[in-house]
Amino acid sequence: MHELALIDELCRIAQQAAKDQGASTIHSLLLRIGNLSGVDAEALRQAFAVVATAPPWSSTRLELEVVRTRCFCAHCRQAFRPTDLIHQCSRCGALSSDVLEGRELELVSMEVS
């Protein structure tokens, strides 16, 4: 549900950036979403299809890059990638609450002309 609010914000930021560049067409957007960000990729695509219909959006591609969770183990002093939603260190078995990557909701770049 909140994907619509995020897409609104995405379009606001992108449109302002395009305007600053004097561009009239937005060809593509690259969005990075962490798998702990609480958004659903399919819901994002649907929300984008609803919002981005008129120019400069008529032919904009939305590219999504999903970032896998990476945590820090305080015990081993090393980063690790948990295999499921329980963030258990693969080396020592300790639970981590220190998430390094996976919460991203970032408009990385866009192509305009």
Partner 1 sequence: MCGQCGCEQGAPFTPEPTRIVLQRNLLERNEQQALHNRIHFERHGLLAVNLVSAPGSGKTAFLEQLARQWPRPPIGVIVGDLATDNDAQRLKSAGARSVQIQTGDLCHLEADLVARAFDQLETRGMDLLMIENVGNLVCPTAFALGEHLRIALISVTEGEDKPLKYPALFRSVDAVLINKIDLEEVVGFDRRAALANLRDTAPQAEVFAISARSGAGVEAVMAWLQDEQRN
Of the candidate residues 49, 74, 95, 100, the single one contacting partner 1 (CB under 8 A): 95
Residue 52 and residue 50: Cα distance in Å, rounded? 6
Nearer to partner 1, 19 or 49 (CB): 19
Helix (H) or strand (E) segment spanning residue 108: strand 105-112
CB of 54 to partner 1, least distance (A): 19
Query: Hey, which residues between 28 and 67 contact partner 1 (CB under 8 A)?
Result: 28, 31, 36-39
- Which residue's CB is nearer to partner 1, number 37 or number 46? 37
The verdict on 111 binding partner 1 (CB under 8 A) reads: yes
